[in-house]
A = this chain, B = another copy of it.
Amino acid sequence: MFDWDDLRHFVALADTGSLSAAARRLRVEHATVARRVAALEAAAGVKLVDRRSGRYALTAEGQRVADHARRIESEALALERALLSRQSDFATEVSISAPPQIAVSLITPRLAELKRAHPQLRLRLLGESRMVSLPRREADIAVRLTRPSDTTLIARKVGVMPYGLYASQEYIASRSETDFEFVAFDESLDESPHQLWLKRHAGTRPIVFRSNELSILIAAAQAHIGVAALPAFAAEEAHLQRVETQDGFLKRDVWITYHQDMRDNPAVAATAGFLAKCFREDRSAADEGTLTALEQSR
């Protein structure tokens, strides 16, 4: 019988397509991945990957084996989550993935509360816009602006995040609305709701600056480059001034998601509850009186 742990390395290689990327995911050396995959091939008696021209590609057999191995992986991941959810104390580490700006402005300032309520709890807060894999436990809890489709995940709508059009006071004072120029995310996000919303309002007026980073857009607005579609809380923090729009704020739902297997883990539950409170008690937009009440779900 082959070494089951070899399968783990093979799945990583099959998923990522390169030795190095697989090694990063497994936190080992790429040489180890190569050796273990070779060991699996030897035990199986079949070529699983083609090493043609430096690149790795699965053979037909490799595809079949990868299918099996992925099933095994999902079981192993389920087992790991089951083990973690059984940790009855708060001694475990909980990792949260959230969009950077939310992490900085809404979560981090209030972390002390959580720490006070659960002193032994250890946290890791990852400011990544990239979609992390919850089943793979790249994070335990994710804060997202879209509802996840995976039904094994628990999705909890904790509030709405209002987007408005913002620019610097000087910029707004210096020109008429018909001369506005705009600041937006780059093309990879052209299909996202706030980008579409911005483009609708911009109409024929030009987008003069693009970036992949929200913080850069804010800085651009502060530097009088143009008008940006920004979350209200971030724009206020940056002392930007709102440009009124007929349809008011764009409201995007905020979701907190975690795997259902982690439901019974008190550390995860407490952290999720804390995050929900962060959004429930965020009055940045409500203060302006434009939102009568933040919608909340259970």
Residues of A in contact with B (beta carbons under 8 Å apart): 1-5, 7-8, 44-46, 61, 64-65, 68-69, 71-72, 75-76, 78-80, 82-83, 86-87, 92, 137
Contact = CB atoms under 8 A, between A and B. Distances in A.
Contacts of A76: 1, 4, 7, 72
A27 to B, nearest CB: 9
Nearest to A71: B75
A72 B70 CA distance: 11
A141 B232 CA distance: 70
Given A5-B4, A8-B1, A75-B72, A46 B86 contact: yes
Contacts of A44: 83
A18 to B, nearest CB: 20
26 contacts: A1-B8, A1-B137, A3-B5, A4-B4, A4-B5, A4-B8, A4-B72, A4-B76, A5-B5, A7-B76, A7-B79, A44-B83, A45-B83, A45-B87, A45-B92, A46-B86, A61-B86, A64-B82, A64-B86, A65-B79, A65-B82, A71-B75, A72-B72, A72-B76, A72-B79, A75-B75
Instruction: Describe A's contact surface by its main secondary structure.
Output: helix
A5 B79 CA distance: 14
A61 B253 CA distance: 39
Nearest to A87: B45
A16 to B, nearest CB: 16
Given A7-B76, A45-B92, A46-B86, 4 more contacts: A1-B80, A3-B5, A5-B5, A72-B72
A37 B175 CA distance: 72
A137 to B, nearest CB: 8
A80 B2 contact: yes
Contacts of A1: 8, 76, 80, 137
Contacts of A7: 4, 76, 79
Contacts of A78: 68
Contacts of A64: 82, 86
A281 to B, nearest CB: 34
A76 to B, nearest CB: 6
Contacts of A82: 64-65, 68
A80 B76 CA distance: 17
B61 A68 contact: no
Contacts of A87: 45
Nearest to A2: B80
Contacts of A75: 68, 71-72, 75
